[in-house]
Structure 1
């Protein structure tokens, strides 16, 4: 293999690895993503170390396709959700007082298919 072709292949692989680790630049973060033009998340606190969001989903309200950086979440009030991500679509009962941590979420979209309003706290380290 010629040296120039090998250099091109190595550069392409490095470029692909770097860009596959970044979220799709067309996706919004959870604050900017909403539902049918309406916000579902508000900022509770933001400083140079953390951003804390409160996200509220009434029955029939969802969260358009978006990504998440590393975050801790806590469900103040749960409900039943339809969640779609790269693994497919599933229905999940999210209980009250449920906590979770994700290193990142490449993308997902959710819809509250339950009969109660769900409230989440999302804490994102910076």
Structure 2
């Protein structure tokens, strides 16, 4: 029993370390190019504007808890803990994560997508 708890503990530490070694959304880019810019950064909130032309993605990265809003939508291939799937992200769509999350995305649509990401501090 103690061994199982120890193994579970090691797995949890390793998982956290792997996620924290990923870049955040501002640091992550696509093929060496930035896709996000800082619009606001204060003691309570960081707001990013992320732009993805067709064929441009966002390399695997983590997000702190955040709220997001789609200024301009497109079709994306998303890979996260659920696997890989294709989704249409409509203009005006909002989303929220209350915990740290990781994913990578690729704009497979024919229009440029633009998102606002508001990260809580």
Normalising by structure 1, report the TM-score. 0.84
Find out whether 1:80 has 2:75 as its counterpart.
yes
Query: Is the alpha carbon distance of 1:72 and 1:108 closer, same or farther for their aligned partners in structure 2, counting shifts above 3 Å?
Result: same
CA deviation profile, 1:73-124 (whole Å, cap 9, x unmatched): 0000000000011211100000001111011353210000000000000001
Aligned residue pairs total 121
Say whether the 8 Å CA contact 2:65–2:119 is kept in structure 1: yes
Residue 92 (structure 1) aligned to one of 75, 87, 90: 87
1:116 aligns with 2:111: yes
- Segments of structure 1 that go 5 or more residues without pairing to the other structure are none
**For residues 7-41 of structure 1, what are the alpha-carbon distances to aligned partners after superposition, in whole Å with 9 as ceiling and x for unaligned?**
x8766655654664566222000000000000000
Contact residue 73 and residue 122 of structure 1 kept, 8 A: yes
Q: Which runs of 5+ in 2 are unaligned?
A: none
What is the CA RMSD across the aligned residues, in angstroms?
A: 2.1
Q: TM-score, normalised by structure 2?
A: 0.87
Are 2:65 and 1:70 equivalent residues in the alignment?
yes
Matches within 5 A, 1:43-58: 43-58=38-53
Q: SS state of the match for residue 24, structure 1?
A: helix
1:56-89 residue CA offsets vs partner (Å, 9 max, x unmatched) = 0000000000011100000000000000112111
CA contact (8 A) 2:20 2:62 kept: no
Bigger CA radius of gyration? 1
Counterpart Cα distance in 1 of 2:75 and 2:66: 21
